[in-house]
Structure 1
Amino acid sequence: MYGVLNGTKVVEQGTFITGPCAGMMLADLGADVIKVETVGEGDPYRSFKNGFYSAHFQAYNRNKRSVCLDLKNTPDKEMFHDLVRNADIYIQNFRPGVAARIAADRETLQGLNPRLVYCSISGFGSDGPYAKRPVYDSVAQAVSGFLSVAIDPEQPRFVGPALADAITGIYASLAITAALAERERTGRGRFIEISMLEAMMHFAIEPFMGYFALGEIPQSADRPRLAQAFIVRCRDDRLIAFHLSSLDKFWDALVEAANIPQLAFDPRFSIRQLRIDNYGALSAAMNEIFSQKDREDWIRQFAGTDLPYAPINSISEVVDDPQAKHLGMFVPVAGRKQGATTTLRPAFSFDGERGTSVVAAPLIDEHGDVIRQDLRLHSNTWPARKAAPTPG
């Protein structure tokens, strides 16, 4: 963990990905995130695949503490409100109306703590014609227009990772940290609302601007064609990606490195605009050429060239990638009781310092006894956090 947000206190009532991702981003920066879960149930993502500590849950809940509270129970509700009174940030991703039913709405919580930064994450927003509709990642990707510029319309398939969920959580954490900075000046909290629809529309800002500026409806093939990005299949059925961009030097580098002068002399590909116009034909020609050797042969051939390319790695191949290792991306999980022993560090560094470990995602109610005892004894203070465990 980093110490950038040390001393920042967060109450998270997040489930699945959006809320937990926002909380994780803050926890990775050093914030003390207490995850409030439902008694007997917990975050449904715990049992997403198997058991009660799924890899999916581990991914978005590291560096946090867990306490289970029954907000229909008056003593537990009072403990929850005591947490909020001493918190800096509150995060929830309930469907509209749920927060009010459990006394976790903005009016109640900011009434208890005017300095609270309250973040509400939803699928479509708190009101409007879609507000009460259920939303998951794939739905948000579809309605936002993002999928239309990301999939092959002839063979439509969802993009693998839960992009809309994670991106919404990251946008939420950005807004939260901005509100914290403002609070230093004003002394008051903010009420932040963000929906998956808004986040994914903003994420797709470039195709939207293409539509507004040019009056054209962007297609999924537009950006690869204009950016001269290609995926080619090698003899061993493995894939390589190229991004030749707008600079002729990269096309020239490909021609030289792959020893394919015949493409340079082909009148269909002689200048960049023609390569754009004949993108399909060029892609087919490149695939024919690259099918003549295995991927490793091509990669050895490209060593030392000024060519923007990369093998399309599997996750297991990335684990052995020399640049990923050099950057120290894989770190141990401290305080682990079950689950993975290794994970990814946060993507950023501060003053050259990178994260060297993370604390394991909590077991359900793992810190509940200590937190509840602290709240009973000292309701006007934030429950103390022990020093982070060391890896190993």
Structure 2
Amino acid sequence: MTSPLRGLRVLELSQFIAGPFAGLMLADLGAEVIKIERPDGGDPFRGFGTGAADNDRFAGYSHNFSAFNRNKRSVTIDLGTEPGRELLRDLVRKADVLLENYRPGVLDRMGLDYEALRQDNPGLIYCSISGFSEDGPYRDRPAYDAVGQAFSGILGTLLDPAKPRMRGPTITDQITGMQAAYGVLGALVERGRTGKGSRVEVSMLDASLYHMPDSFTALTQTGLEMASETRAAFSLTFAFRCQDGQLLAIQVSSTEKFWRALLKTIARTDLGDDSRFLDRPARIKNFSALVEELEPIFAAQPRQHWLDLLIAADVPCAPVNGIAEAMSDPEVVHAGLFHDVTHPRRGNLTMMHRAVRLDGEREDDPLPPPDLGEHTDAVLRSFDIAPERLAALRRQGVL
């Protein structure tokens, strides 16, 4: 049960984040995910990010690439050549899933579209990830994470309207990858019933809209358009800078006992009698005034002082951790999400397990992210590609 997708073969024709994250999720569940890459550099994410150019150990193996490509095998095939496309079609005949995030029309022009490949394998699950719908007005526009965030409204609820700046991790990319993996799993269940494959399609825009349904029901049911602090006001969520400069997060939500416990902890029960904060609707309406009342209180003591008191009072709170602090947090260490693996060329690496446990277990036998083409010969032999054909393809520069 730790690897429920063991025996499933996935061909991943994707790069950057959304497609690779979908492949990663399937790989973490035990699928054999075979990443098909161009021989001349592979996934552009290999050379992305800081440090790659300054450290020969990680040249072509950036931290960005590593993050989204664990538990996979890399095979190089030049799909720009007819022999390369023929080889891919041979692999498709023995695969279960093809996952791609090319721009709409690219694989069609190569003769590698769903309708063509289903002739080779009627049971194939063909999953396409795109920025926008493949037949819509934006089909030919390029899309990255910020584009999906911006179009969907996510970004509008995250930016400070007074000083808008992009911050934080990618969101739309991972959301889209999760939706793609979710669609693939559903299609596999249906194939188990009927024996037939299917086409799975997800756009970054659709996935992003799907991620925040309450924002749209707020608009359609009540006429309320969510702004950057609306959700915080409704859930009474705060971030305060304490005396020592450290940040503290608190979420009281709609639970009255947490609100009362917060006021008692900070010795300001009088705020509970203030007409501006008498009940939840009043606190939502006067949220900015409430923040102004609370900020100087938390600024008067160091963060640990407040954490000790709030935890003792059972108020939902947490330190606002940096990345290093998050990794070393006692709960994170106890959960065992991070672990070390060894790559034969790259050495020791710290990687993540999957977040989901099955029967109390993480995945077994995790693989480090692959070097470009690291598994080409072994994987192609497992698909019964003859040694003499492999040699010929190498001479032709296809592999």
Q: TM-score, normalised by structure 2?
A: 0.91
Match of 1:47 in 2: 47
Provide, for residues 33-53 of structure 1, a one-character-per-residue CA deviation record: whole Å limited to 9, x for no partner.
110001212000111122311
Aligned to 1:248: 256
The answer to whether the 8 Å contact 2:3/2:364 transfers is: no
Q: Which moved more, 1:7-16 or 1:230-239?
A: 230-239
Shift of 1:183: 0.4
Deviation at 1:310, TM superposition (A): 0.7
For residues 258 and 358 of structure 1, do their structure 2 counterparts lie closer, same or farther at Cα, with a shift above 3 Å needed?
farther
Which runs of structure 1 show a deviation greater than 4 angstroms over 4 or more consecutive aligned residues?
Answer: none
Taking a change above 3 Å as real, the CA distance of residues 251 and 357 of structure 1, as seen in their structure-2 partners, is farther
Shift of residue 112, structure 1, vs aligned partner: 0.7
Tell me, yes or no, if the aligned pair for 2:17 and 2:173 is still in contact at 8 Å.
Answer: yes
One of 107, 111, 124 as aligned partner of 1:103: 111
Residue pairs, 1:1-392, within 5 angstroms: 2-49=2-49, 50=52, 51-335=59-343, 337-338=345-346, 341-355=349-363, 358-374=366-382, 375-377=384-386
Contact 2:98 2:124 in 1 (8 A): yes
> How many angstroms does 1:323 deviate by?
1.0
Structure 2 counterpart of 1:82, one-letter code? D
Percent identity over the alignment? 42
Amino acid in structure 2 at the alignment position of 1:376: I
Cα drift, residue 270 of structure 1: 2.7
Distance 1:90 1:378, change over 3 A: farther
Give the C-alpha shift of residue 325 in structure 1: 1.4
Deviations 1:269-291 (A, max 9, x none): 23222221211111111111000
Distance 2:237 2:332 in 1: 23
Residue type matched to 1:19 in 2?
Answer: G
Residue 230 of structure 1 deviates from its aligned partner by 0.9
Q: Check conservation: 2:78, 2:84, Cα contact below 8 A.
A: yes
Deviation at 1:292, TM superposition (A): 0.5
Aligned residues: 379
Q: Judging changes above 3 Å, is the alpha-carbon distance between structure 1 residues 209 and 344 closer, same or farther for their aligned structure 2 residues?
A: same
TM-superposed deviation, 1:220:
1.9
Alpha-carbon offset, residue 63 of structure 1: 0.4
The alignment partner of 1:310 has SS state of strand
Output the TM-score relative to the length of structure 1. Answer: 0.92
Displacement of 1:361 in angstroms is 0.7
Give the distance between the partners of 2:198 and 2:32, measured in 1 at CA.
19
Task: Find the aligned partners of 1:356 and 1:7 in 2 and give their Cα distance.
Answer: 14
Q: Distance in 2 between matches of 1:318 and 1:356?
A: 24
Residue-by-residue CA offset, 1:5-58 (whole Å, 9 max, x unaligned): 001110000110111111100000000011000121200011112231111101
Pairwise CA distance, 1:211:
0.9
1:257-305 residue CA offsets vs partner (Å, 9 max, x unmatched): 2333343343322322222121111111111100001111211222332
Distance 1:140 1:2 in 2: 33
Q: Which runs of 5+ in 1 are unaligned?
A: 380-392
In structure 2, what is the Cα distance between the partners aligned to 1:336 and 1:207?
Answer: 48
Q: What SS is found at the alignment partner of 2:86?
A: helix
| Structure 2: gaps spanning 5 or more residues | 53-58, 389-399
